[in-house]
Structure formats: structure tokens, C-alpha cells
A and B are shown apart, each in its own frame.
Chain A
Amino acid sequence: MSIISVKEVYKRYQLGRENFVHALRGATMQVEKGEMLAIMGPSGSGKSTVMHLMGCLDRPDRGEVWLADRRVDTLPHGELTGIRGKEVGFIFQGFNLIPTLTAVENVALAAEYAGASRGKARERAEDVLKEVSLADRMGHKPGELSGGQQQRVAIARALINEPSVVLGDEPTGDLDTESSREIIGLMKSINERQGTTFVLVTHNPEIGDACHRTVLMLDGAVSEG
């Protein structure tokens, strides 16, 4: 059963007055529930753009995007915000934690945005941080954590609202080999234990190897997979 369906999507960005970049040219792909999918391809092939569409961060110029049996590309701005908060979790390359917040506050923030009270959100954040083996680092700010630990916090943040799908944009991009393997292992174990769907945009072949399936993109379309 597909949790995400991207059908014939086109997206172009305007650079300057008459300059356009065609990021997607009729890309189509499906993500099955519980699947761990890697999207690979050269820079500029449209990997990140398709991930943004799946995560309701952007809308296609043409085509359809379905998330959990609901067409999302036509939804108004406010509803897309709500879906991002509850149905989707994000992991970014540069960890993208908020530097003034502690690990537990960073994780709890996503739950607060999804409507949980501050106390409840914190309680849940503590539980999720324990799951990613960061029980002893909850009160640390991002600057006091290693790269691998920061990405664990980001994974905890992505998981706190029990989303239908976790989207990762180069989740190991800023990590050394050892931390990178640790994070891949963590995502794989979450996928296996909890059945969480992962879609990971990456250049890292080790992620490709760890995933159930790999989709290759080229020039804004799916070339393989």
C-alpha cells in the first residue's frame, strides 16, 4: 500500500527575470508504507525538490502528490502546515537544530507545534530521546553535542509526533564515517522496530545499501527504480 504517491510532477524555479531552472520534469514515484527508500542521483537531478513536495513544503507546478491517501498538492497553505506538523518528520543534512534550545526543547518543539502542551511535549521528547540513546544529553544545547549526537536529536525530533513518513535530506552528509554508520543503523532499527517509513535523499551508497529500495533520479525525472 502506497503511503506517498508522486504522479507526473513538474516544478521550475525562477532565477532572475527570465531564467528558469526546471527542477522536476514529470517525475513519478511511489513509497510503500513501512518502506525504507533511498533517492539518489547527481546534484541538480531534483532529489531534494521531490522530497520537498512529499513533505508538503512546496507545491508542484503540475502533477499530483498524495500522502496517506490524501491529495496534498491542492491543499491550502494552512492545511499543509498542519500536515507537516503531524504526518511528516524531517531530518536535514546540517542537523538544523535550534542553537538556543536544549536537546529536549528542540525535540519537544515539534510536538508543541502539533498541538501538545509544553509539559506533555517535554515528557514525550524525553521518551524519544531515550529511544535514540541520548538520555544523558537532554539538557545539552546543540553546540555541546557531537555531530552524531545532533543528528540523533534531529531523528528524535522527526519521530516525536509518530509521523506517517520521515523524510531525510542527506542525513549523513555532515557526519564522519563512524557517525554516519551509527545513524544509518539507528534509522534502520527504527524502521524495523516501529515500521516507520523513511525516504532518504542521499549521495551516500551505504544508505542505499541499507534501504529496501533505491530510486535514481536524473534531470528531474526518475531514471531507475
Chain B
Amino acid sequence: MRAIRNIFRRKLRATLTIGGIAIGVLALVVMGAIAEKMTLLVNGGTEYFSDKVTVSESPAHSMAALPMSIDRVAEMEAVDGVNVASAGCTLLLDEDGGASFGMPAMLIGYDLRARDLESFEVTFADGRDLEPGDQGKAVIGSDLVKKLGVEKAGDTIEVRGRTFEVVGIMEATLTAPDTTVLVNLPDAQEIFYDGLPEFVQSMVTQDEVITDLTIYPDEGVDPDQLADRLEAQFDDIDAIGPEKFEEQIGSIADIFNYIVYGVAMVSLVVGGLSVINTMTMSVYERTREIGIRKALGASDWRIIRQFLTESAWIGLIGGIIGLALGSLMTAGGNNAIEQSGTAIFLLTPRLAIGSLAFAVVLGVLSGLYPAWHAARMNPVEALRYE
């Protein structure tokens, strides 16, 4: 632990430098945890959309769902390559939307005809899946347990003025289903219909309004090509296949991640500069010591190794502190907003290990110039240094 003793010769300076690295790593961990959560959400969506097409009334992707006629089911199923068109009614769980990160909590009603075709598997921590005819019953995602005050299957919940019996609690998927309440289609249609303006209500009946369709293609049919065909055939719909989802959502997530990591990197670069400063000061202050070491037979490489070890330790200690603070902050943050039903941060092992490794590499890189400068010193001049 000679390196650590050398680092703490100047306690205040060492502490400030390590603090700089720790803040950089803290930023990386916290921002990275947001990005990891975002990535998982997007990956979950990508996986869900990988074999199907989602159809909605154009313009799509509005959080305020537009009504669509259930007659569309028959229209879509008449198209070549469509196996099943499953009607869905997707609504915000909170009427006012609520404040949340990523996907807001949703209420989804769907018909169960296509359940056997669904490849996105969901398992249950308690209870069971919905069955046809389960009126007034719901299945909830793992993140909503606290928000809705549910302890076990069999409890009841209040959703948009209606009471549902919870028949199942899904295991965490770390993606959209975690913040979703699933009900049978007629229940969701009723809520949706009640929320429509009166003039719309006068034009439609409750059992014919839906918001979207999930199209399960026939075996061997490419979902992207099917989406293109559907859009070509019906000019008033938006059909989203896996490729389009990736393009729209994936690219947004990528930009988000670049920004998030970019901000964290700036913090780390500042931390790295403080390591360069500290190590350079240390080399100047220890010029005479370097001269002694050289006189005793230390090779240039030994001198470089000594200073790089010290700067790597600065990085590692700063990294450990930053990671510890980041872990506390992300856990605390998730805990604080648990009531809203959405976890913001996801501190993955790869993020934790990556942050630590980055801190050490940053320390080593920052120590390169001072170490090289120390190794190049002329021993006679170094010994004369006062």
C-alpha cells in the first residue's frame, strides 16, 4: 500500500482529487442508470414488436388515444398474410397522465383470441392470467403493486372510477408490462367510451370502440412487409412493424443515451484533469525523491509504474466512492418515486463494473504524462532539486 501512502501525503489535495473523480463517476452511474432503464424499456418494446404489427388510427403515437372501429378487425383479417387481428383498447392509467419517466402507467384491454400467438412471455408472481369472461378483473404489473396498494391476488383496485379484482400480479419484466394494468376488452372499452366527448359518443356504441389492433401475421410472413401492405391498402391507419418501431423509438433512445452519457463524460473529463494536475504537482514536489530512486537503480519503467499505480488508485478510490454514492442515489430515487409506479434508475452490473473500470482507466491515462515526465528526469538534476 505504498502507493496509497504516497497519494495521501497531501491529504486535502488527494481528497479533493478523489472527490472530483467520485463526482464524475457518480454522474456516470446516475445518468447511466437512467440510460440503462431506457434501453431496457426499448429492448422490451423491440422484443414485443419483433413478430407483429400494431395498427392505430392515423395520426398514431398520440398519448390521447383516438377511437377506432372494431369493424377494423374483420377488415384487417381479410388481408392476405394476417392471421389474427386482436382488438385492443389502450388508455392512460391515470386520467391526467401523471408524472413519470419513460412509459407512463397504462390500462390495456384486449381480446384474448390471440393469446396463444403471443411470443412475449409473462409469468406471474401471484395469481393467474386473465381468462375470457373475466369482467371486472385485472392483472397488474410489478411496478404498480405499491402504487395501487395491492398486497396479493384477490385484492381490489380503483382504476379510473371503477373497481377491479386483481387476479394476478406479473413478475417484473423490466419493461412496459411492469407499469401496465391488463383487463378484458369490454372493461377498457367502457372506460374509454365514458371518456369520449358527447358528440363522439352519439356516433358510436361502447362495444365498437377500440384504440388499436395487434396484427399477428401468418407463419412465414414478414411483419415489416405486412405493415407496408396494410398502410398501402388503408390510407387512414398507421401500421408499425418491428423495423419502424426500431427506427422511431430506438433512434430516440440512442440520442437520449448519447446525451446522458455525454453529460457524464464531461464530468469525468473534469475529474481526469484534476488527476493530471495532482499527479503533475506530485511529480514536481517529489523531484528529489525521483532522483534518489534513480540513483538507487530504479529503471524508467519502474518510475512510470509507480506514478501510474498511484493515479490508478486515485481513479479506483474515486470510482468506488462514486459508485457507492450512485448506488445510494439511484436506490433512493427509485424508492422515492415508487409510489408513482415507475422506476427511473436501473443500476446494472455492467454499468457498475464499467464505471469502475472507466475510473481506473481515466486515472491511468491522466497519470501518463506526469509519470513519463518523472521517468525522463536527469538523476543528477533531480538530486540537486531543492
Interface of A toward B, CB cutoff 8 Å: 52, 55, 57-58, 77-78, 81-82, 84-86, 90, 92, 96, 98-101, 105, 109-110, 113-114, 157, 161
Residue among A81, A86, A114 facing the most chain B CB atoms (10 A cut-off)? A81
Given A57-B380, A101-B2, A96 contacting B297 (CB threshold 8 A): no
Provide the residues of chain A in CB contact with B2, threshold 8 Å.
Answer: 100-101, 105
Interface 1/0 per residue, B342-386 and A, CB below 8 Å: 000000000000000000000000000000000000111001000
Q: How far is the CA of A84 from the CA of B299 in the complex (A)?
A: 10
Nearest B-chain residue to A55, judged by Cβ: B295
At the interface, yes or no: B244 with Cβ under 8 Å from chain A?
no
- Is B9 touching A84 in the complex (CB atoms < 8 A)? no
Contact indicator B292/A92 (Cβ below 8 Å): yes
Which residues on the B side are within 8 Å of A77 (C-beta)?
300
Cβ contact within 8 Å between B380 and A81: no
* Set of chain B residues within 8 Å of A82, measured between Cβ atoms: 297, 299
Q: What's the tally of chain B residues with a CB closer than 8 Å to chain A? A: 20
Query: Which chain B residue has the least Cβ–Cβ distance from A158?
Result: B296
Contact A57 B297, beta carbon cutoff 8 Å: no
B289 within 8 A of A: yes
CA A90 to CA B297, docked complex, whole Å: 10
Cβ contacts under 8 Å, B383 to chain A: 57, 92, 96
A119 to chain B, nearest CB (A): 15
Nearest CB to that of A160 among chain B residues?
A: B296
Say which residue of A78, A100, A157 sits within 8 Å of B6 (CB atoms).
Answer: A100
Interchain CB contact under 8 A, A81 and B292: no
- B1-26 interface (Cβ within 8 A of A): 2, 5-6, 9
Q: Indicate if B113 sits at the interface (CB-CB under 8 A).
A: no
The answer to whether B296 touches A78 (Cβ under 8 A) is: no
Closest to B299 in A: A81
Q: Is the CB of B297 within 8 A of A157?
A: no
Do the beta carbons of B297 and A100 come within 8 Å of each other? no
Contact A84 B296 (CB under 8 A): yes
Q: Which of B288, B296, B379 contacts A113 (CB 8 A)?
A: B296
Per the bound structure, the CA–CA distance linking A157 and B6 in Å amounts to 20
What are the nearest 6 A-B pairs in CB distance? Answer: A85-B297, A113-B297, A100-B5, A110-B296, A84-B297, A96-B292
Main SS class of interface, B: helix
A110 to B294, CA, bound (A): 10
Please name all residues of chain A whose beta carbon is closer than 8 Å to the beta carbon of B288 when the two chains form the complex.
96
State A86–B297 Cα separation when bound (angstroms): 8
| B146 in the interface (beta carbon within 8 A) | no
* A78 cross-chain contacts in B, Cβ below 8 A: 299
Distance in Å: Cβ of B142 to nearest Cβ of chain A:
53
Within 8 A of A (CB), among B297-316: 297-300, 302
Q: Please, which residues of chain A bring their CB within 8 A of the CB of B297?
A: 81-82, 84-86, 110, 113-114, 161
Beta-carbon contacts under 8 Å, B48-106 to A: none
| Distance from B206 Cβ to chain A, minimum over Cβ atoms (Å) | 81
Contact at A100–B296, with CB atoms within 8 Å? Answer: no
A57, B289: Cβ atoms under 8 Å?
A: no
B289 surroundings in chain A (CB, below 8 A): 98
A116, chain B: closest CB distance, angstroms: 11
A98 CB contact (under 8 Å) in B292, B294, B302: B292
Interface residues of B in 267-291 (CB under 8 A from A): 288-289
Give the complex CA separation of A58 and B379 in angstroms. 8
For residue B300, which residues in chain A have a CB less than 8 angstroms away from its CB? Answer: 77, 81
Tell me, in angstroms, the Cα distance from A109 to B6 when the chains sit together.
Answer: 15
- New A-B pairs, 13, CB < 8 Å, besides A55-B295, A84-B294, A98-B293: A57-B294, A58-B380, A81-B299, A85-B298, A100-B5, A100-B6, A109-B293, A109-B296, A113-B296, A113-B298, A113-B302, A157-B296, A161-B297
Interchain nearest-CB distance for A221 vs B (Å): 20
Q: B297 → chain A, closest Cβ, in Å?
A: 2
Say how far A143's CB is from chain B's closest CB, in angstroms.
12
A57 and B296 contact, CB distance less than 8 A? no
CA distance A101 to B293 in the complex (A): 13
- Contacts A57-B379, A58-B380 given; does A81 touch B294 at CB 8 Å: yes
A-B contact pairs, 9 of them (CB 8 A): A58-B379, A81-B294, A82-B299, A84-B296, A86-B297, A90-B296, A110-B296, A113-B298, A113-B302
**Nearest B-chain residue to A82, judged by Cβ:** B297
Q: Are A52 and B296 in contact (CB under 8 A)?
A: no
Q: Are B380 and A100 in contact (CB under 8 A)?
A: no
Contact residues in B for A81 (Cβ distance below 8 Å): 294, 297-300
Interfacial chain A residues near B6, Cβ < 8 Å: 100
A70, B161: Cα distance in complex, Å: 98
- Residues of B within 8 Å of A114, CB to CB, are 297
A58-B380, A81-B294, A105-B2 as given contacts; A100 in contact with B9, CB under 8 Å: yes
Contact status A52-B299, CB under 8 Å:
no
